[in-house]
Amino acid sequence: MTRTIAFLAYPGFQILDVTGPLAAFEIAGRYARHPYDIRVIAPQPGPVASSSGACLMAQGLMDPAGLDTLVVAGGDGVNAASAAPALLDYARAVAGHARRITSVCSGTFLLAAAGLLDGRRVTTHWYRTASFARRFPRVRLEPDRIFIRDGAYWTSAGITAGIDLALALVAEDLGEAIARRTARQLVIPYRRQGGQSQFSTLLEMQGTTSRFGDLLAWVRDNLALRLTVDELAAQAAMSPRNFARAFTADQGLTPAKAVEQLRLEVARDLVEEGPASLDRIAIETGFGDTERMRRAFIRAFGAPPQAIRRTA
């Protein structure tokens, strides 16, 4: 069965929002021996200039009845695109026929402007979340997710998250084995789950000037240890009192809170990614037991690990 995947481009689109996911579909179809029918479409056929100035050749807007999946690219030109009546009408028409409606990065704005996302859970690029929330208060924005599925609608964060989204779509169409082979061919990790954060706690803490970067990397690699202030101070070759004061001034949070944030990030990834038991995850990430981990999850994420695993 051949599925038609159409990428909607417009002047000022982000080129990687198209070419990254497009490559994933191309490779997956090759492995499955049932290639996707991949199209790039635009309001006017011909070359479409991306935000970088590089162009992609596009055909005109195709018959919505022939589409399996629409992928709306993001980019600097999305504000103009999401105010174009012809594009909004086209998105609504496709929604009445296609099996899936998806967006990469700020492409979410066009779908929201068409009224297709009201009441739905969505995400978009972190840089655009404040603007999105103001413009579309009826949409349930989850600002730090990599991608989200709500029924037939899939939305994703910036650029490389579009590849994660494409791999999830491939897995739904062709199975996990094909999606894994595709990721391997793309030389990317297989695969970040949609519920993961757009941000790395460790990278944010390390920053560019933190004096505790090496210590934080060591903490993340040793979460199963107790990691008391005395132990952290010893690792940093400082007295406990001086360490606690200097760390808090550098990071804006206490050592204990920093350790908990790192534990939560790793634990959430493990909960979402695989079959490991919650008991094992709690021990490996230093929570010690599932009840302590459950309370930390509810404080941080508003849901226990079991609910987050079901959602993932």
pLDDT for 145 equals 80
Q: Where are the domains of the chain?
A: 4-186, 201-311
4-186 and 201-311 agree in CATH topology: no
Note the pTM of the prediction, 2 decimals: 0.67
Q: Is the pLDDT of residue 201 over 70?
A: no
Q: Could you tell me the fold of the domain covering 201-311? A: Arc Repressor Mutant, subunit A (1.10.10)
Q: What is the 3-state secondary structure (H, E, C) of the chain?
A: CCCEEEEECCCCECHHHHHHHHHHHHHHHHHHCCCCEEEEECCCCEEEEECCCCEEEEECCCCHHHCCEEEECCCCCHHHHCCCHHHHHHHHHHHCCCCEEEECHHHHHHHHHCCCCCCCEECCCHHHHHHHHHHCCCCEECCCECEEEECCEEEECCCHHHHHHHHHHHHHHHCHHHHHHHHHHHCCCCCCCCCCECCCHHHHHHCCCCCCHHHHHHHHHCCCCCCCHHHHHHHCCCCHHHHHHHHHHHHCCCHHHHHHHHHHHHHHHHHHHCCCCHHHHHHHCCCCCHHHHHHHHHHHHCCCHHHHHHHC
Q: Is the pLDDT of residue 221 over 60?
A: yes
Architecture of domain 4-186: 3-Layer(aba) Sandwich (3.40)
Per-residue pLDDT reduced to its tens digit, 108-143: 999 999 999 999 999 999 888 889 999 999 999 987
Based on the residue annotation, tell me whether 105 is a catalytic residue of this protein. Answer: yes
Mean pLDDT of the chain: 90
Looking at 71-80, 192-201, 205-214, 218-227, which range is the least confident one? 192-201
Among 18, 27, 98, 105, the one annotated catalytic: 105
Please compute the mean of the pLDDT values over residues 53-68 and round it to a whole number.
96
pLDDT for 158 equals 80
